[in-house]
Amino acid sequence: MIGRLNHVAIVVPDLAAATALYRDALGGKVSAPVDLPEHGVTTVFVELPNTKIELLHPLGENSPIAGFLAKNTSGGMHHVCYEVEDILAARDHLKASGARVLGDGEPKIGAHGKPVLFLHPKDFCGTLVELEQV
Catalytic residue among 38, 47, 54, 130: 130
Known catalytic membership, residue 130: yes
Strand partners, 56: 11, 43
Contact yes or no for 11/65 (Cβ under 8 A): yes
How many Å separate Cα 96 from the centre of its chain?
24
Residue among 1, 20, 5 at smallest CA distance from 87? 1
Residue among 131, 61, 26 at smallest CA distance from 89? 131
**Separation CA 31–CA 65 (nearest Å):** 20
**Separation CA 116–CA 83 (nearest Å):** 9
Catalytic residue ranges: 130
